[in-house]
Amino acid sequence: MPDALVLEGIHHGYGEAEVLHGVSLTAAGGAITCLLGPSGCGKSTLLRLAAGLEAPAAGTIRIEGELVAGEGVAVPPERRGVGLLFQDAALFPHLTVADNIGFGLRGQPAAERARRIEALLGLARLGSLRDSYPHLLSGGEQQRVALARALAPQPRVLLLDEPFSGLDTQLRHGVRGEMVAILRTVRTAVVLVTHDPEEALLLADHIALMRAGRIVQSGTPAALYRQPADPFVAAFFGGVNRIEARVCGASVPSPLGPLSAQGIASGTPVACLIREEAMTLHAGPVNGEAGPHAIVQSARLLGGASLVDLLTHPSRGVPRHLQARVPGFGVPPPGAEVWIEVDPRLVHVFPATA
Amino acid sequence: MSLALQMPAPGTRLAVLLAAVVAAPLGVIFVLALTPTDGLWQHLAATVLAEYLGNTLLLAAGVGAATIVIGTGCAWLVAMCDFPGRRWLDWALVLPLAMPAYVLAYAYTDLLQFTGPLQGLLRSLTGWRWGDYWFPPIHSPGGAILVLSLAFYPYVYVLARTAFLDQSICALEVGRTLGCSAWGAFLRIALPLARPAIAAGAGFAVMETLADFGAVRYFEVPTFTTGIYRAWFAYGSPAAAAQLASLLLLAVFAVLLVERVSRGRRRYAHTSSRYRDLRPVPLHGIRAVAATLACGLPPALGLAIPAAALAAMALRSGEPLAAARLAVLVSDTVQLGAVVSLATCGVAILAVYAVRRTRGGVAPGLMRAALLGYATPGVVIAVGVLIAVGMLDSAIDATSRQLLGISTGLVLGGTLAAVAYGCAVRFLAVAYNPLDAGLARIRPSLADTARTLGATAGGVLARVHIPLLRGSLLSALLLVFVEVLKELPATMMLRPFNFDTLAVEAFQLATTERLDAAAVPALIIVAVGLLPVLLLCRMIRASRPGARNA
């Protein structure tokens, strides 16, 4: 069976400015693919192209193997079999919940239609709101109706455009859980656009990270976190300490001691990105007296973890500011001297660019 | 390229076509005005131009000043103070919008003429007789300023009132805490903030003044509009009519420009999305009475008293309009109103869509040009349509004679189609603006979602947009209908032979010294005209910031 959605070599722009420069993306059936990236990188545009709301300037789009855009073909959105969910639920204000869900079921026998609406009302736990009008619903309920409405015609691909960013933090967590549970039961192919890396890590089977109209890296969440392709990817999934230096032999000298050059040739200027969570703090020396150590400047509790501001010890050269994210409460007080252990798996070294 | 930019043809072509059809009468006037005619300009300049210009400027200045004072003053009192009757007066102040200026002119002529009740009272009190005393003549530029100001001050009132209410929490309370007195806050904060709105309202009033035909013609104050009418009908000179019309149009566009610029700057009033009910300052004693009187006088003079005068005229009319004649008038008027409002709303919804589909490009600019019809005086549109339709008719005639050897004569001139065309050109904006605003309130994601759920472009219109636009569509139909009902010069000049609307009949009766008989059609116009005004009152109340529009 062909992949649910395949975009190849997509170029697109508004007027003179090109916003997508040759993007290729594949979304597999039954999986959640996340299009992740900062605002304005072109990810929502890509979604609109997939839905058929706009036509690409170049490139092809296939849905379950069928060519829907490019090579002279332009299948209109209503004949693509895609579902689309916006940040604002975009419910039709003049229709009840049930009629909203049934909007896409035109042309089916009434009994079949009613049965399908009932099934979706049940799936989205909306049975009691059947005859309500959208303005009476909470934000989470509106999103559930929008999801049920998008699923009703059994789309081949479901496209979600930042569906949770309109909700406040507390609500978002619950709605996200509910919606993912629904999506996992229907097992349709899902493409989710988001700018929130945490959300992508939480929901995605596959992430495509975009920047300025290009896909920078694409892979499983673990791959993007563990083997980032460049400093942008590394920094996108959380705070990093950036140290610039020059490779010396097989290692890079740093205030945290020598770091592995990860195969980069000696003499190359590099940027070392050390994740905040790569550092473990100890009250005493770990690797002998020469081990890196620092003085705690301040520490802030963030709930599950604490963020510690450190200044490297003057005995290690010019003091340097570092940030470490450590679990729990056992945080040393300001002024305390700590010894730092670095997890080499969470250090990423890249040749310095310009 | 977006889909819309890739296939701009249907939207742009349609928008260009609509704009061309609507702009044709104006274009014809400018072309004709620029065609050299030996000595006509000099002749006009030497004879009538100075008088037209002087009167028109006098009226514009007088009405502009009077509407600003009445409209702003009442808006401030109603928005910021509490006094007996405030709730009533709040919307009663809008009602004179239902009164066409020419109807006010008839009523005040009756009230203030020598045989009228006021002068009669004066004579019975003093014992004076004719020639013993001087009484201000209503048939004068001053009288015209009075009735036009009473008819048009609500434009300033409505916009100023909204401006005052909008700024309530943002600025005024802060101003008070910074040491302004209530009066100081008005002068230093509220008035400057509301100034763009007030200027826009006064701009409307002045544009309507420039466009007025009925009142000034009845009062025999020669202005550009009456001059154009006379040039066309009395002197039979299309060239002179076009010359005068183009001058008037330039003046109207200048005012329009001022209004647009003012409106563009109106944005700065909103800095906070929060809204709290304004606590009006309670007035007591003589000040409360003065406030009630000040706000009660404009609706009394603009609607209640003239309506009562018309009713009295209708009752005492020795020669009442025959019921059969009235039925014909109502039928003709309703027929015209229905045809024009349906056609105009149909064209408007097409135009709104055509412009939306094109997203940028030339179409929106063209459409804005086409919407200028509303700012164009009815007389000017009538002259433009007469010329354009005349040209079209002779072209059809010539073609037909060449091809078939048959002379078609006038196909369009003097038909209902010509009136409907003129009215549609004039009132396209009346239908376009509520529909455009209605569509703008519908989020684009609704249409996108509907498309992905299997609706075609037409299906989106039928299943999503039309149901959601129903309110806007109904009010657009009503607004156009009432405008057609009130319209005087365009219908009078374009109507087919023996086709009379209520407004035309009332005008003809009034100008042929049968003022009492004009009262019944005038009253019908006012009664129907109140409908959209009441609708406006409701919209104003619903549009309070923070109020929920369910």
Q: Which residues pair with A296 in a beta bridge?
A: A310
How high is the pLDDT of residue A228? 92
CA distance from start to end of chain A? 45
How high is the pLDDT of residue B454? 86
Instruction: Please identify which residue in the block is written with the tokens 């072309």.
Output: B31
Residues of chain B in contact with residue A73, where contact means CB-CB under 8 angstroms, are none
pLDDT in tens, A263-274: 888 888 999 999
Q: How far apart are CA A313 and CA A293, in angstroms?
A: 6
User: Given pLDDT bands bounded at 50, 70 and 90, which one contains residue B138?
Assistant: confident
CA distance B244 to chain A (A): 44
Six-digit token pair at A231?
Answer: 């400093």
**Could you please report the per-residue DSSP string of B10-78?**
HHHHHHHHHHHHHHHHHHHHHHHHHS--TTHHHHHIIIIIHHHHHHHHHHHHHHHHHHHHHHHHHHHHH
Identify residues of B whose CB sits under 8 angstroms from chain A CBs: 1-6, 443, 445-446, 448-456, 459, 463-464, 467-468, 550
User: Given pLDDT bands bounded at 50, 70 and 90, which one contains residue B61?
Assistant: very high
Q: How far apart are CA A36 and CA A228, in angstroms?
A: 14
- In the predicted model, what is the mean pLDDT of residues B56-66? 95
How high is the pLDDT of residue B272? 45
Q: How far apart are CA B443 and CA B247, in angstroms?
A: 42
Do A202 and A235 form a contact (C-beta atoms < 8 A)? no
From the list B452, B468, B550, the residue facing A77 with the nearest CB is B452
Q: How far apart are CA A347 and CA A132, in angstroms?
A: 53
**A137 CB within 8 Å of a chain B CB:** no
User: Given pLDDT bands bounded at 50, 70 and 90, which one contains residue A169?
Assistant: confident
How high is the pLDDT of residue A214? 92
Residue A53 to residue B3, Cβ atoms within 8 A? yes
Which letter, b or e, does each residue of B204-243 get, where b requires 16 or more Cβ atoms within 10 Å of its Cβ? bbbbbbbbbbbbbbbbebbbbbbbbbbbbeeeebbbbbbb
pLDDT in tens, B293-320: 999 999 999 999 999 999 988 888 765 5
How high is the pLDDT of residue B55? 93
Question: What phi and psi, each to the nearest 5 degrees, are found at residue A300?
Answer: -125, 130
Alpha carbon separation from A30 to A47, A178, A215, B352 (Å, rounded): 18, 17, 22, 42
Instruction: Please identify which residue in the block is written with the tokens 């997508």.
Output: A20
How high is the pLDDT of residue B264? 63
From the list B1, B3, B449, the residue facing A84 with the nearest CB is B449
Q: How far apart are CA A179 and CA B354, in angstroms?
A: 38
Worst-scoring range by mean pLDDT, B48-62, B179-193, B281-295, B430-444? B179-193
Best of A10, A49, A53 to substitute, by most chain B Cβ atoms within 10 angstroms, is A53
pTM of the model: 0.74
CA distance B256 to chain A (A): 32
CA distance B162 to chain A (A): 26
How many CA atoms, within 13 angstroms, populate the side-chain half-sphere of residue A37?
22
How high is the pLDDT of residue B298? 95
If one counts every other C-beta atom within 10 angstroms of the C-beta of residue A110, the result is 9
From the list B4, B446, B550, the residue facing A90 with the nearest CB is B446
Do B221 and B356 form a contact (C-beta atoms < 8 A)? no
Residues of chain A in contact with residue B4, where contact means CB-CB under 8 angstroms, are 54
Q: How far apart are CA B504 and CA B502, in angstroms?
A: 6
How high is the pLDDT of residue B373? 77
Residue B1 to residue A57, Cβ atoms within 8 A? yes
Q: What value of ipTM does the predicted structure carry?
A: 0.75
